[in-house]
């Protein structure tokens, strides 16, 4: 039996524009520390390496350093607040639903590989009515490793019932490109996500500016591997 072809997606900045709710949660914990809120436009590229790194980056803007215990407390407060507001403003990127429909109709199996916690990822996708689309939803805590470690990508593909030679990664940042490269998997970069380094400079195998271009990009990459 031929294994299914798998398309593995990053979540924040790739599938869903989560920046408004993430930065609102960040500003909630910064405010508790007596720090001013960060503008969304300036802070959105801090997203992508998980909640702890987002908080650290937010503190760095004001040259604030906190102890490990204090960071743990901020992390708990962040997650509690974020979970309550996870889909207040977060929405799928334009054209996503149609692109997923097209991939599904073409026989692809879909999965999520994110540095977000698994339960938060599932909560978000549940709220947006998208959970049913994915054969696997894996976060930084699912296997105990996070992107760019290739193990999380390999294990996500395995959980979705696929194997690496018939898989493609889709992401918006260096952690996604790095995980795919180390896993030996081709990668589609999206130009509308969150990254402090322009995605074109990271040289994904394909670069798209709208989700309507995704099915053709995936098809061309997998066809080139046959």
24-45 burial, b for 16+ CB within 10 Å, e for fewer? Answer: bbbbbbbeeeeeeebeeeebbb
Per DSSP, the residues of 176-198 read HHHHHHHHT--EEEETTS--SS-
Q: Which residue blocks in the chain are alpha helix, DSSP H?
A: 19-32, 40-43, 51-61, 68-84, 96-105, 118-127, 150-159, 174-183, 214-223
Tokens representing residue 43 in the block: 């802070």
| Active-site annotation holds for 10 | yes
- Residue 147's SS3 state is coil
Residue 176 to residue 191: CA distance in whole angstroms: 13
Q: How far apart are the first and last CA of the chain?
A: 17
User: Which member of 10, 17, 149, 172 is catalytic?
Assistant: 10
- Copy the structure tokens of residue 14: 């790739």
Omega within 30 of 0 (cis) for the link into 211: no
Active-site annotation, residues: 10
């Amino acid at each position: 039996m031929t294994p299914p072809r798998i398309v593995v997606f990053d979540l924040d900045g790739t599938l869903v524009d989560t920046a408004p709710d993430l930065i609102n949660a960040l500003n909630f914990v910064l405010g508790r520390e007596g720090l001013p809120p960060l503008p969304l436009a300036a802070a959105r590229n801090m997203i992508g390496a998980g909640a702890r790194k987002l908080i650290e980056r937010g503190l760095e803007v004001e040259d604030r350093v906190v102890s490990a215990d204090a960071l743990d407390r901020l992390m708990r407060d962040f997650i509690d607040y974020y979970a309550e507001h996870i889909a207040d403003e977060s929405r799928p990127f334009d054209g996503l639903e149609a692109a997923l429909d097209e991939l599904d109709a073409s026989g692809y199996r879909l999965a999520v590989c994110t540095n977000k916690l698994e339960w938060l990822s599932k909560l978000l996708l549940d709220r947006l009515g998208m959970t049913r689309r994915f054969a696997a939803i894996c976060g930084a805590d699912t296997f105990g490793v996070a992107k760019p470690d290739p193990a999380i990508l390999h294990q996500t593909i395995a959980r979705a019932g696929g194997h690496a030679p018939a898989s493609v990664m889709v992401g918006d940042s260096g952690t996604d490109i790095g995980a795919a490269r180390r896993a030996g998997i081709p990668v589609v970069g999206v130009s509308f996500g969150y990254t402090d380094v322009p995605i074109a400079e990271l040289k994904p195998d394909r670069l798209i500016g709208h989700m309507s271009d995704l099915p053709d990009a995936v098809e061309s990459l997998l066809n080139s591997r046959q």
